[in-house]
C-alpha cells in the first residue's frame, strides 16, 4: 500500500482471508470468479509491500522492477477488464448483459493499451511523503491521452456495478467512486497507489454481495 510496507502486508493478509471466505460461500463458477477479487487485491497489496522493502533494503534492490510491474499490472491492467467481466458473468438480464458487454470491451481496450504502455515506457517509483509515486516517462504527445484512458478506466470499473441487476452491486460502485474521489482530492499525485488501497478494502462489499447471492441461489 501507499503508506508503508507493514500496512500493505497487513492489508494483504486481511484481503486474503476475505477472499477465502468469499470463495467458500460462492456456489457457482461466476460467483467464485467474482469472489476471487479480494485474492487478486491481496496479491496486489503484497507486491507493493515487497516494493517498499526493495526500495529500503539493498539486498532486494534487484527485485524492484519486478514488484513495480507486478503492482502496476494489477492496478492498471487487470482491474479495468476483470471488474466488468466478473459482473457480466453474474448478470441474467439480457439488456443489461449487452451494456456490460460494451463495458467489458472498453475495459479490454484499456487493459491492452496500458499493457503496451508498460512494455514501451519505463516506470520510476519514488517514495515521497510516506507514499509511493509512480512516474511514467511519457512523451509529451502521449500525455494528452492520459485523461482519455483514465475516463475509460473509470467507466469500465465504476459504471459496471451500476448497470448490474444485482441490487447490492450498486454499493460496490458507490464505494469505488467514493474511494477514488477521496484519493484524487486528498492524495493527488499518488492516486494509483492510494486508490487501489482503499478499493482493496472494498473487498468487504464483495463478500457481502457473495453472501447475499449464495442465499438466493
Nearest CA-CA partner of 70 in 51, 55, 85: 51
Nearest CA-CA partner of 135 in 89, 190, 83: 190
Query: Which class for 149: exposed (0-12), middle (13-18), buried (19 or more C-beta within 10 A)?
Result: middle
C-alpha cell, 217? 441461489
Nearest CA-CA partner of 103 in 163, 191, 41: 163
CA atoms within 13 A of residue 139's CA, in its CB half-sphere: 4
Report helix, strand or coil for 128. strand
pLDDT of 193: 64
CA–CA gap between residue 94 and residue 155 (Å, rounded): 20
CA–CA gap between residue 215 and residue 52 (Å, rounded): 41
- Residue entry with cell 487493459: 111
* N- to C-terminal Cα separation, the chain: 35
pLDDT of 172: 92
pTM score, whole prediction? 0.88
According to DSSP, residue 65 is labeled H
Tens digit of pLDDT at every position of the chain (217 positions): 456 777 788 888 888 999 999 999 999 999 999 999 999 999 988 998 898 889 888 889 899 999 999 989 998 899 999 999 999 999 999 999 999 999 999 999 999 998 988 888 888 887 776 667 777 777 776 667 777 888 899 899 999 999 999 999 999 999 888 887 877 766 655 566 666 667 666 889 999 999 999 877 6
Amino acid at each position: 500500500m501507499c503508506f508503508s510496507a507493514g500496512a500493505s502486508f497487513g492489508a494483504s493478509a486481511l484481503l486474503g482471508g476475505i477472499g477465502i471466505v468469499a470463495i467458500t460461500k460462492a456456489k457457482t463458477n461466476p460467483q467464485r470468479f467474482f469472489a476471487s477479487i479480494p485474492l487478486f487485491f491481496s496479491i496486489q497489496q503484497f507486491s507493493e509491500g515487497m516494493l517498499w522493502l526493495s526500495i529500503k533494503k539493498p539486498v532486494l534492490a534487484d527485485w524492484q522492477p519486478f514488484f513495480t510491474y507486478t503492482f502496476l499490472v494489477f492496478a492498471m491492467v487487470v482491474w479495468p477488464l476483470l471488474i466488468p467481466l466478473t459482473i457480466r458473468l453474474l448478470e441474467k438480464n439480457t439488456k443489461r448483459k449487452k451494456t456490460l458487454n460494451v463495458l467489458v470491451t472498453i475495459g479490454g481496450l484499456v487493459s491492452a493499451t496500458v499493457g503496451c504502455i508498460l512494455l514501451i515506457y519505463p516506470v520510476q517509483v519514488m517514495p515521497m511523503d510516506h507514499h509511493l509515486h509512480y512516474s511514467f516517462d511519457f512523451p509529451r504527445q502521449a500525455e494528452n491521452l492520459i485523461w482519455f484512458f483514465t475516463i475509460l478506466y473509470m467507466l469500465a470499473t465504476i459504471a459496471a456495478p451500476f448497470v448490474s441487476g444485482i441490487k447490492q452491486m450498486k454499493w460496490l460502485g458507490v464505494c469505488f467512486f467514493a474511494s477514488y474521489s477521496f484519493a484524487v482530492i486528498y492524495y493527488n499525485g499518488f492516486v494509483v497507489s492510494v486508490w487501489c488501497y482503499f478499493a482493496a478494502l472494498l473487498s468487504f462489499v464483495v463478500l457481502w454481495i457473495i453472501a447475499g447471492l449464495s442465499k438466493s441461489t
